Structure 1
């Protein structure tokens, strides 16, 4: 019980102060569990960081679960994960209440008008970071190009990403004909592809299954969530508009902890408190299950060249669909010169003057949107 209380306190604290995205979250965890508390050595911590890339889900949340599992077993896994997720969820729902009540009021709307343009800058920065890491070979560049092309012309983002993984797997197989036995190790990773929804109306159960499917196939970064949500909630189901989705992403930037708390915002916006609970449970449940069930297989998966090829290609595909979604969002958001000015201004601050804090970028966008509204009315 003492270990569980220790785990809960640590990851509850990190859930309240862990701003800055997955890399910053993982850095904070390393400082706490390796340097301060000596729960494990640095090499084991790095092994777990590598392992999170082999299963779907948000890396920093799964790292919290891995650390909790290491310290307190299965119970520690659930305590760490819940403690890390809950603070961000509560804060995001509070923002969702504010947005639902005031987001459409004329005096407030110009703030969100500027926020939407600024969020494009945040997504673009994520694309650059992930692209530099994911695209390492010439065939990766070609694969990314075709993923972007087919995604722009309507191919499902989920199918595009998993198809990219399959092509990467085939490429590796052709390069290593003697590796056929290793393909069996990928079965746990391919299971989520069979998940489906078929939801046609906004219900609590529909929200749960929609976000469960997304959580089960979310390879890459938390920002890939934007592409999946666009495909499901905007294009297929019509529950949100693209500007509303960008507002939800922006609100997720204001809270600490995992970026997937955006699901809580959307759940509340669509179906109140029950919707927030169901969407949050759906998006995070697969991470708990994958960390719990696949943890014993991690050493074997990490040593598999076929598994590595599949996941490398999946990450390339994720970058490709993010670029496609960015282009589509830009088409819908850049409706006049003001949004273009705000996007350019926040982009200069981010890339030229190294203002890398997403929260500050979103705040600058909000203030700029309101300022331009005053100047032009």
Structure 2
């Protein structure tokens, strides 16, 4: 690969990747994107910023901040955003689709295994080990993201406040984001040195370099990133029918009471309000799927989340599991497995089609705001708040992996989830600690760690608790 020097002679920037080269990298990211949004964003940062330098640190954070504001899976939207920057709409489509496709196929296979062989002890044992490994992946990712986003006391304070707000006081995720953005906007005027984009509070805290996308911008090659009303109209005219057209067609063909119309309408609405990712909407979706529609039995949503944790791609893929079970159990004239597969496809479609709509419609305007210091500071504060939120997600996951029983400790109606110490599962704890040591101390890769823990899970799951 040829090398082009930036204005900083000590740091070099690779030549722009070809579309084929970018496609291979997006496929790699899609296959390796385990560990939820924290792990997936960290993986993209390592692949695209640190190793290949296709995008600079500041531009990566700016795009990430916008994706954090959107409903839906922020990591998949970030991949779409960066792919769109480098190779226009087709690049965004390839990046976003390849981020989802591996996990969708794996989740479909696991859903089929779940309904056919859910009682097989070997399958449970493998999942037991993988869950412990995923916990290590999430912890490692939180540490990496935190080191890059929390560069001064202001950003650390915002992250801590966000963590306490959501863990202890159960403040809704969108409200936390709104407050953080307001704090960043005010901070840009009162203490701009603490709220600069990316949270760099001290000189030389991070070696900044120009990525491929930054050089493309300087050369005037990002004309597709210039906002216009005409472009916004075309995007809306194309992507709204792509998203909602199948839902309308199913409603016309099968009626309002069919499982197909219910799935399409319900998960289309979820695509608009799923701020905070899978964990944030889990309780609401579980209640609707169990009590309102009767698609799932109590506790099966947690099983689905456990399956989603073991797959690459967005954790929101748990919704595909719900769609599969809903159609599998009300197949009508279809074979149950075929109906389940179609239900999974429909749910995946209406969950992810809006993500492309949000990016292709809004990203040009976000790019135009890169020079706005107040907006950049607000988005940097939002990134710090999201670190706190992801820390909460990591703790939530740790509690449910290591302990068999978790209770809510409430005072005046609010309070955190705390473990019942006597319910600790020492097998899961040992596996999780071993996985963390392997990844953090000995730098063992994510896939080898997952594989080793899956094998170890088969052995330790048969030991007494």
TM-score when normalising by structure 1: 0.70
- In the TM superposition, 1:151-230 aligns within 5 A as 151-153=166-168, 154-175=170-191, 203-214=263-274, 217=275, 225-230=277-282
Structure showing greater Rg: 2
Task: Give, in angstroms, the shift of residue 48 of structure 1.
Answer: 6.3
Unaligned runs of 5+ in 1: 1-5, 35-41, 177-187, 189-200, 219-224, 253-257
Equivalence for 2:444 = 355
Q: Is the helix fraction higher in 1 or 2?
A: 1
Task: Give, in angstroms, the shift of residue 139 of structure 1.
Answer: 1.8
Equivalence for 1:289 = 357
Aligned length: 322
Task: Give, in angstroms, the shift of residue 237 of structure 1.
Answer: 7.2
1:155 counterpart SS class: coil
Matched-pair contact (CA < 8 Å) for 1:168–1:310: yes
Which of 450, 456, 465 does residue 368 from structure 1 map onto?
Answer: 456
Which of 127, 130, 136 does residue 121 from structure 1 map onto?
Answer: 136
Equivalence for 1:198 = none
In 2, the alpha carbon distance for the partners of 1:320 and 1:139 equals: 13
Instruction: State yes or no: 1:64 paired with 2:124.
Output: no
In 2, the alpha carbon distance for the partners of 1:249 and 1:44 equals: 28
CA 1:10–1:312 in 2, change beyond 3 Å: closer, same or farther? same
Equivalence for 1:316 = 384
Matched-pair contact (CA < 8 Å) for 1:48–1:66: no
Equivalence for 2:426 = 337
Equivalence for 1:246 = 306
Unaligned runs of 5+ in 2: 1-17, 34-39, 68-73, 193-231, 233-258, 291-295, 327-339, 405-424
Matched-pair contact (CA < 8 Å) for 1:158–1:228: no
CA 1:101–1:205 in 2, change beyond 3 Å: closer, same or farther? farther
CA 1:266–1:130 in 2, change beyond 3 Å: closer, same or farther? farther
Task: Give, in angstroms, the shift of residue 127 of structure 1.
Answer: 0.9
Matched-pair contact (CA < 8 Å) for 2:131–2:306: yes
Task: Give, in angstroms, the shift of residue 292 of structure 1.
Answer: 2.0
Equivalence for 1:346 = 435
Equivalence for 1:110 = 125
Instruction: State yes or no: 1:98 paired with 2:186.
Output: no
In 2, the alpha carbon distance for the partners of 1:169 and 1:345 equals: 42
Equivalence for 2:248 = none
Instruction: State yes or no: 1:53 paired with 2:108.
Output: no
Which of 346, 353, 368 does residue 300 from structure 1 map onto?
Answer: 368
CA 1:341–1:351 in 2, change beyond 3 Å: closer, same or farther? same
Matched-pair contact (CA < 8 Å) for 1:68–1:76: yes
Moved more, 321-330 or 48-57: 48-57
Which of 326, 329, 335 does residue 394 from structure 2 map onto?
Answer: 326
Matched-pair contact (CA < 8 Å) for 1:151–1:324: yes
In 2, the alpha carbon distance for the partners of 1:105 and 1:98 equals: 10
In 2, the alpha carbon distance for the partners of 1:136 and 1:324 equals: 20
Matched-pair contact (CA < 8 Å) for 2:80–2:356: no
CA RMSD of aligned residues (A): 3.8
Task: Give, in angstroms, the shift of residue 134 of structure 1.
Answer: 1.3
In 2, the alpha carbon distance for the partners of 1:30 and 1:145 equals: 26
Task: Give, in angstroms, the shift of residue 43 of structure 1.
Answer: 7.5
Matched-pair contact (CA < 8 Å) for 1:114–1:370: yes
In 2, the alpha carbon distance for the partners of 1:139 and 1:288 equals: 33
In 2, the alpha carbon distance for the partners of 1:306 and 1:171 equals: 8
In 2, the alpha carbon distance for the partners of 1:54 and 1:144 equals: 14
